[in-house]
Structure 1
Amino acid sequence: MGSAVERTDEHVKEYLTYRGFTTTLKHLDSEIKADKEKGFRVDKIIDQLQQFVQTFDLFGLKDYWLYLDRRLFCRLEDVYRSTVNKLRTSLYRYYVINTIQKGNLEKTQEFFQKQALELQGQVEWRDWFILPFIPSPEQNPAFSPYFSRQWADTFLVSLHNFLSVLFQYMHILDFDAEVQKMTSLTDENEQLRQLLFALQTESRDQRDRDEMPHHKLPAYVQNMDRLGDTEDLVSSQRAVSTATTPSRNFFSTFLPQGRRTPVKPAQVMTGSSPTQGAVSRKDPPTSQVKASWGRIVNSKLRFFEIRSCQLNSLTFGETIYFVFVLTCYLQIPEKRGEAGDVEPLAETSGEIPDSSSNSRSCGGGTEGGGLPAEQPFIKLSQEEYGEHHSSIMHCRVDCSGRRVASLDVDGVIKVWSFNPIMQTKATIMSKSSLLSLEWATKPDRLLLLGSGVGTVRLYDTDTKKNLYEMNIDETHPRILSLACSPSGSSFVCSAAALSRSGSVESVSRLPATVSGQLLLWDTKTVKQQLQFSLEPDPVAINCTAFNHNGNLLVTGAADGVIRLFDMQRYESAMSWRAHDGEVYSVEFSYDENTVFSIGEDGKFIQWNIHRCGVKQSEQPLPQDATGPFVLSGYSGYKQVQVPRGRLFAFDSEGQHVLTCSSSGGVIYKLSNKEPALESVLLLGGHKAPVVTVDWCSAVDCGTCLTASMDGKIKLSTLLAQKA
């Protein structure tokens, strides 16, 4: 932090000198000299405090500490207040001990006279008022430890470390990070310009229009495709990369999707020899292989330098792992070909050790005569968040990927962050039961909280205050599901009536006969806009999800019916019976031409939204992935929880899905053939059944969240290895 401030000051001085603002430059120099924060240099702050102690300046010492408290310490959370108080107590004791060691008893008595009103009520100072009247306090057992050099050094080191950590995580100045960000953005823009020029010279493939099914969707939705609607450039880039890029190496996973440029294909020729197969190539000379490897290594090093700024948030173990992989890559292993020429090993040879034993065992097999297929993900680390004391109901990451909100069956909500460290930001407790939560999209610091008494609260996680509390409907008090539109201007709310017994169960679903409402609320005016028509009967809606632009809304209900709503006309576009029993979880696919759902019948089904009720694939899942979830205890005790949160989540490209299991999350690869799901990675780490999951891809390293019935939430960091 101190070096960043000094560099920033130098840039400001150069700018003022260039502009000729000499008077402003003089004022800046004078203010820098009188800066009490010392440019966030911890050593200078410690020196200033020691100067006050050595000169017996009690007033200056108190005033400087109060300034640090107002400027820095007040920004900390309440849990660190005790640490600040202990450091202040030690600082005052350090001052008193120094006055006695220097033989200045007048300053010792002055300290207790001026600080009597403040310190007499504190337990840690109760025995210290007799200090000036003891002949040899350094020999008294109660005070002798404070006269040792070891105690003084320990205090100064503790204060130095506390201030260092404080400055590191306050992010007062991010000048270096902004410079690195601008550099990476400049490189990305240049690559995108080159890619756009290449794409403009190629003709786009015509879409397959052989089948034009009959459906009820409006015209602007009939040909809607997320890949072709709003991300034409990205889809074209994917097409070029898929057609022209050979197997990728490990270092390409450092780059986000937008920065991966296509590589020219290797020259191949059809072989006539039966031993060569369909494709063969001539082994290159050793010199060409060496030169080729040199170009590859140099390019990877450049990419590594561009992305190195994003490795700052990794733990020590993860950093060691990256350094190990870099070392293995630069060694350039070689093997002998049949003709005696030296040939480099393939980039996906699998020789790089995986951080997860599961990823090595899943989806095995060989390809092309020997080398195992590269796994899609590497599990870098797995951390645990254990602040909850009961089973989790919901666990969601916000749009920016910076914060997580988790809700347990006791109605306690924890808002916490995991980058750079796992830390609780806010705790929300309510007198009434809480049943649902959802992050707002704009701004992403707001939380929507649905209760069991017919209210929805809008909570600000930064100020830790309730902004609004909306009364939904007294006849339908249970808020089962919330979904905020991508624009952030509105949200839908699913409200259901009480069960026939009138009880408010915290973990069980309502029976299918219980009525419900689906309402649209305006976020800015905090008023209800309309009530959707639920046909054939007004039934309780269990789950809701918007598409990427908010034009479509899909819902899953307790009667087993999936309903698709047109959000421009505010009417139902189509509906079909999807499951035998309730629909627990529903989501749009990545291209948004299909919908995935999990129901009470234990099936994971993909539906075509252009052909009402037509299945594209169906896959049975084990009970520990769909519920009801059972946690067995002592003496035959069993805790049963019916699904309420999200049961599956997709990665950033919609090619892999994360589901629940009895011991942790399971990642499957989606396939167009049978079976529809192929297990590729077991995350593990749980001792109780996982009841809800989420997958955050806002950063390069994807983060999987798995929450279980014992209140534990596992945060698994994955590194993608895409072919």
Structure 2
Amino acid sequence: MNSAHQVDELIKEYLLFRGFSNTFRVFEQECRNDKDKRFQADKIIEELYSYITSSDINGLLDYWKYLDLRYFSRLDARFFESVKKFEICLIKYYLVYATQQKRKDKIFEFFETFGSELNGISEWSKWFGLPFSKNPASDPNFETFFTKQWLDTFTVSLHNFLNTIFQNMSLPSLLCFNLDRLHRKELQDEIESLRNEIENLKTEIVNGDTEITSLKQKVAQRELAGYPRRRRSNNNMHDKNEKDSNNNDALRLSLTTSGVSLSSSLSRSTTPSVKHETGSDLNGIKSPEVYADDRSMTPISEYDIDDSHGNINPFIVNSQEMFLENNSGIIVTKLSHQGNLIASCDVDNTIRIWSYEGSSSTLKHSNSNSNILSLEWESRSDKILLYGTDERLVKVYNKETRSVIHEYKMDERFPRVNQISCSPVEPLFACSGSPKSIDDAYSSSDTGSLITFDLKTMTTQDIFMLKASSHSPSSSTMMPIETIKFNHNGQMLVTGDRSGYIRIFDIRTLKSIMEWNISSSSKNGSGVICSSQFSFDETSIYVIDETGELSQWSCSKPGFVMSQSQLQGFPPATPTIQMNITPKLSRKRTPSTSSIRSIKSTRSTSSIPAISETVPYEPISRVNMIAFSDDTEHLVCVGGNGGTQGVIYQSSNGEKVQTLASHKQHLTAVDWSENTILTAAMDGTVRVSRIANLGVIM
């Protein structure tokens, strides 16, 4: 708005140039009588105060009414109360100024004119006594309004309020043109400043060569001394460590992360943070018990040292916290891509969106005749959450408006939305559909669907139908797709189905670029794929089946297996759960009594006596039990301690490298994003573990 005066002068110049004399005179006269004061807040306040100093109450109220109609009435309703308060304060200042100037006649005139309107309003009840107060400046009812501090505060508040309105007004093209010119000049200045900064940084880089060389030498010395970076130390280093221990040379690793210092001493000296057992050697040292900086003081133990081999684990746990946002068994939990929010869905079809820093909101699935099967955050923000049901629907939920803004419908033959995956670069997501039951997959030539939807236009983009196999020796049908993952630029996606087929699709056409079946090369695998993931360099695909076989397949040679290994402890042994069988169920569940959907909520909904029965728990799928790190060098799975722990494995060889803290009940879902790992359990608990990679720190 500061350029309004410049534009006015340009218009005057143009009118004179064109010879529009009459128009020039009218325009100049209107500029002099400009009530908007060229959108300058200080000029408007000066005009308001001029009416007060001249004791013109009618002029004051008329000008305020003009501002109200011109600007204030167009504001959002939540600002109306603020506008009313400014008006009241302005009138009170009129009365205060009249009192200071000993103009009691103007005060009596004000109450005679407007007294009937103000009578009965609590805000004004005490002000009727103003003209009768002997010393209003010291009267407790009025003394605040006679101070300079009150007037200054009111003036600044009104000034900021007006400025905010002017800065957010829609501008005509003529003013925008001038603003664009000024903005371009600012950008040029900023670019020049950045160029200078780049030159300075280049100079610093050149000057830092010597320091970098020195640091590389130190790193090399540490590696030779037995400090592992991203891999566990090998057996050849064990002799050297033993020799160093016999010579009583202390080897200490000190890490400081997020203000917490962890020290692991490999000598026999006793420190308050390291516990030794009598007669323990190097392998007998127990790791310190460190507590998270939270109210629950949950212990974090056995993270930085692997007691079984004396090796340092690749990750350190900075903090861990247990949350009970859901009241029943968790189905799936997902971290937002920016890592700020968590969405967790339980057996009651209740999705809770919450932050481990405190905020929380609840999304209750409204249709009691369907179940939620899948969750996924939109990749480019933490605002949109998608969830799929077993009744054809994919719903798009906006966290800010707390409402479902759109619903997509799947093919009626494939109502179960097993998985949803969002493109990392476009407003696009893919989801897989399957029949109500596996038997339905054999009754049609189409056994499942892969569909891409456009979040911008809210329309279906492409559809790929899974057909019965025509080249399989057994002529078995293609089973529905279980896993979907995009590559880094969103141009390809990889899928895995229950019959062992891996497919790579071109997202622009949703055509299969290559496909192969892992069953023929599997050692002990079932062929039921529960995870398929592009490697970080996208030259290979990591695949995990339901027997825990981890395999790595080449992208350049379809069907060529690069490595195979077994994830020890995954899948965990099938636990048993206590079921309460009542004559009447309050909500729909899937037919299988062994699925997680059959677990009864901890919230009682009936007073009918229940019959307790112990049954084996078997999840519908294990897709949600596996999550890869962002660099795909590690993965976390449900396993360990009877399935109550998250276990971290190395992707290259399937070696177990670390375990996370246990839950009280069996884990049902995990997720991993950047430096945060989620583990969720059947009792509704979610553990948030914040980790750091030792290789990156060192």
Q: TM-score, normalised by structure 1?
A: 0.49
**Structure 1 equivalent of residue 450 of structure 2:** 519
Tell me how far apart the structure 2 counterparts of residues 595 and 616 of structure 1 sit (CA, whole Å).
Answer: 11
Tell me how far apart the structure 1 counterparts of residues 646 and 111 of structure 2 sit (CA, whole Å).
Answer: 67
1:353–1:632 Cα change, 3 Å: closer
Tell me how far apart the structure 1 counterparts of residues 73 and 610 of structure 2 sit (CA, whole Å).
Answer: 56
1:87–1:574 Cα change, 3 Å: same
Tell me how far apart the structure 1 counterparts of residues 364 and 204 of structure 2 sit (CA, whole Å).
Answer: 44
**Structure 1 equivalent of residue 465 of structure 2:** 531
SS in 2 for 1:537: coil
Which of the numbers 646, 661, 679 marks the counterpart of 2:658? 679
**Does the CA contact (< 8 Å) of 2:313 and 2:657 recur in 1?**
no
Tell me how far apart the structure 1 counterparts of residues 68 and 689 of structure 2 sit (CA, whole Å).
Answer: 41
1:598–1:275 Cα change, 3 Å: closer
Tell me how far apart the structure 2 counterparts of residues 462 and 691 of structure 1 sit (CA, whole Å).
Answer: 28
Query: 1:565: how far off?
Result: 0.5
Tell me how far apart the structure 2 counterparts of residues 65 and 609 of structure 1 sit (CA, whole Å).
Answer: 69
Q: How does 1:59-208 map to 2 (within 5 A)?
A: 128=122, 131=125
**Structure 1 equivalent of residue 483 of structure 2:** 543
Tell me how far apart the structure 1 counterparts of residues 382 and 307 of structure 2 sit (CA, whole Å).
Answer: 45
Tell me how far apart the structure 2 counterparts of residues 68 and 383 of structure 1 sit (CA, whole Å).
Answer: 50
Query: 1:567: how far off?
Result: 1.7
1:60–1:690 Cα change, 3 Å: farther
**Structure 2 equivalent of residue 312 of structure 1:** none
SS in 1 for 2:501: strand
RMSD: 7.1
**Does the CA contact (< 8 Å) of 1:543 and 1:555 recur in 2?**
yes
Tell me how far apart the structure 2 counterparts of residues 484 and 690 of structure 1 sit (CA, whole Å).
Answer: 25
Tell me how far apart the structure 1 counterparts of residues 360 and 343 of structure 2 sit (CA, whole Å).
Answer: 10
1:428–1:193 Cα change, 3 Å: farther
Which of the numbers 609, 615, 621 marks the counterpart of 2:553? 609
Q: How does 1:343-354 map to 2 (within 5 A)?
A: none
1:242–1:548 Cα change, 3 Å: farther
5+ long unaligned stretches in structure 1:
1-8, 13-32, 39-46, 75-80, 117-124, 139-143, 168-174, 202-239, 258-270, 282-295, 305-317, 327-334, 336-349, 501-509
Which one has a bigger Cα radius of gyration? 2
**Does the CA contact (< 8 Å) of 1:375 and 1:680 recur in 2?**
no
- Report % sequence identity: 18
Tell me how far apart the structure 2 counterparts of residues 426 and 608 of structure 1 sit (CA, whole Å).
Answer: 39
Q: What are the Cα deviations for residues 659-712 of structure 1, in whole angstroms up to 9, with x where unaligned? A: 458999855342489983233432x6x777653332221xxxx23334455666
Tell me how far apart the structure 1 counterparts of residues 651 and 198 of structure 2 sit (CA, whole Å).
Answer: 38
**Structure 2 equivalent of residue 437 of structure 1:** 375
5+ long unaligned stretches in structure 2:
4-36, 133-138, 165-186, 231-238, 263-270, 272-286, 470-475, 555-559, 577-594
Which of the numbers 509, 512, 516 marks the counterpart of 1:573? 516
Q: What are the Cα deviations for residues 340-375 of structure 1, in whole angstroms up to 9, with x where unaligned? A: xxxxxxxxxx99977477544235258999xx8477
Which of the numbers 648, 653, 662 marks the counterpart of 2:631? 653
SS in 1 for 2:500: strand
1:616–1:466 Cα change, 3 Å: same
**Structure 2 equivalent of residue 378 of structure 1:** 317
Tell me how far apart the structure 1 counterparts of residues 413 and 92 of structure 2 sit (CA, whole Å).
Answer: 70
**Does the CA contact (< 8 Å) of 1:625 and 1:647 recur in 2?**
no
State the one-letter code of the partner of 1:480: N
**Does the CA contact (< 8 Å) of 2:479 and 2:497 recur in 1?**
no
Tell me how far apart the structure 1 counterparts of residues 382 and 691 of structure 2 sit (CA, whole Å).
Answer: 24
SS in 2 for 1:646: helix
Tell me how far apart the structure 2 counterparts of residues 403 and 389 of structure 1 sit (CA, whole Å).
Answer: 19
Tell me how far apart the structure 1 counterparts of residues 610 and 653 of structure 2 sit (CA, whole Å).
Answer: 40
Q: TM-score, normalised by structure 2?
A: 0.50
Whether 2:580 is the aligned partner of 1:620: answer: no
1:606–1:88 Cα change, 3 Å: farther
**Structure 1 equivalent of residue 542 of structure 2:** 595
Q: What are the Cα deviations for residues 62-81 of structure 1, in whole angstroms up to 9, with x where unaligned? A: 9999999999x96xxxxxx9
Query: 1:615: how far off?
Result: 3.6
SS in 1 for 2:624: coil
**Does the CA contact (< 8 Å) of 1:671 and 1:677 recur in 2?**
yes
Query: 1:517: how far off?
Result: 0.6
**Does the CA contact (< 8 Å) of 1:655 and 1:669 recur in 2?**
no
Tell me how far apart the structure 1 counterparts of residues 83 and 377 of structure 2 sit (CA, whole Å).
Answer: 40
**Does the CA contact (< 8 Å) of 1:554 and 1:562 recur in 2?**
no
1:352–1:613 Cα change, 3 Å: closer
**Does the CA contact (< 8 Å) of 1:363 and 1:678 recur in 2?**
no
**Structure 1 equivalent of residue 669 of structure 2:** 692
Tell me how far apart the structure 2 counterparts of residues 474 and 245 of structure 1 sit (CA, whole Å).
Answer: 64
State the one-letter code of the partner of 2:479: V
Identify which range, 475-484 or 625-634, moves more after superposition: 625-634
Tell me how far apart the structure 2 counterparts of residues 721 and 187 of structure 1 sit (CA, whole Å).
Answer: 33
1:130–1:70 Cα change, 3 Å: closer
Tell me how far apart the structure 2 counterparts of residues 529 and 385 of structure 1 sit (CA, whole Å).
Answer: 39
Query: 1:452: how far off?
Result: 3.2
Q: What are the Cα deviations for residues 571-606 of structure 1, in whole angstroms up to 9, with x where unaligned? A: 53224277669655554555664524363xxx5331
Tell me how far apart the structure 2 counterparts of residues 93 and 106 of structure 1 sit (CA, whole Å).
Answer: 17
State the one-letter code of the partner of 1:705: L
1:572–1:423 Cα change, 3 Å: same
1:641–1:105 Cα change, 3 Å: farther
Q: What are the Cα deviations for residues 139-184 of structure 1, in whole angstroms up to 9, with x where unaligned? A: xxxxx9998979x999x99x99xx99xx9xxxxxxx9xx99x9799
Query: 1:519: how far off?
Result: 2.0
